[in-house]
Amino acid sequence: QKEVEQNSGPLSVPEGAIASLNCTYSDRGSQSFFWYRQYSGKSPELIMSIYSNGDKEDGRFTAQLNKASQYVSLLIRDSQPSDSATYLCAVNFPGNTPLVFGKGTRLSVIA
Amino acid sequence: KAGVTQTPRYLIKTRGQQVTLSCSPISGHRSVSWYQQTPGQGLQFLFEYFSETQRNKGNFPGRFSGRQFSNSRSEMNVSTLELGDSALYLCASSLGVEKTQYFGPGTRLLVL
């Protein structure tokens, strides 16, 4: 069973803090991982992808991947109220399978 | 480069009718995936097409069907609409082998 698990939240953080979003997945052989942001009533928007163990930084966002632990996370530094959204984790499992999405974590940044 | 486009953006239908939704992928993308999203639910995978062939199919009844054309544009059809089909229908395109997906704005369907 190919599963992607995320805490549904809401995760509330104060403005300026670091928000940490976590995702676990079921197959250690998975190769590529994606984070999307979805504002209420809008479509998901790609934030970043990560393929190798370790950290990948893009502006205020850092994705962290640990394949041995089957864990991928997204850190948002200096969180802003405009970061309030649902964050979706997606995993490309081995084989001819579609991208599998978690149900998302709702983040609320409090001003 | 233009993004993924979906038409129509909004649609109101009544139970029993059928509906066709259209998706034009990013230029050069050969794969199109469709998802259904209802309030409080995650993305429910419908189908994935690559080079006019259905590559994967989700767990939806046969009333949901789709196809992809030679120019990579895709359509999905829902026949005999039910109230529970009211949802945001999202299309995403990718190069194909590379799985990074880019979403269109969605079609919001309301079934009365």
Tokens (6 digits) for A107: 């983040």
Name residue B92's beta-bridge partners. B33, B103
Residues 6 or more apart from B79 whose CB is under 8 A from it? B18, B63, B65
Q: Which of A54-58, A86-90, A107-111, B1-5 has the lowest mean pLDDT?
A: B1-5
Tokens (6 digits) for A57: 């930084």
Kindly tell me the burial class for residue B109, based on how many C-beta atoms sit within 10 Å of its own C-beta (0-12, 13-18, 19 or more). buried
Alpha carbon distance A75, A68 (integer Å)? 19
Which pairing describes strands A32-38 and A45-50: parallel, antiparallel, or unpaired?
Answer: antiparallel
Label residue B41 by pLDDT band (50, 70, 90).
confident
Position B42 scores a pLDDT of 85
Position B99 scores a pLDDT of 87
Residue B42 to residue A98, Cβ atoms within 8 A: no
Label residue B1 by pLDDT band (50, 70, 90).
confident
Condensed to tens digits (0 to 9), the pLDDT of residues B14-40 reads: 999 999 999 999 999 999 999 999 987
Condensed to tens digits (0 to 9), the pLDDT of residues A30-67 reads: 989 999 999 999 999 999 999 999 999 999 999 999 99
Position B29 scores a pLDDT of 96
Please give the share of chain A, as a percent, with pLDDT higher than 70: 100
Asked if B36 reaches chain A (Cβ–Cβ under 8 Å), the answer is no
Average per-residue pLDDT for chain A: 95
Alpha carbon distance B86, A39 (integer Å)? 19
Alpha carbon distance B101, B89 (integer Å)? 15
Instruction: Measure in Å the smallest separation between the Cα of B4 and chain A Cα atoms.
Output: 11
Condensed to tens digits (0 to 9), the pLDDT of residues B53-112 reads: 999 999 999 999 999 999 999 999 999 999 999 999 999 999 987 889 999 999 999 999
Instruction: For an interface test with B, give the residue of A5, A40, A43, A49 to mutate (most B CBs within 10 A).
Output: A43
Residues 6 or more apart from A90 whose CB is under 8 A from it? A4, A33, A34, A35, A36, A99, A100, A101, A102, B101
With contacts defined as CB-CB under 8 Å, which chain B residues touch A101?
Answer: 35, 42-43, 45
Residue A98 to residue B90, Cβ atoms within 8 A: no
Alpha carbon distance B47, B100 (integer Å)? 16
Position A3 scores a pLDDT of 93
Looking at the predicted structure, is the pLDDT value of residue A96 above 90? no
Identity of the amino acid at A50: I
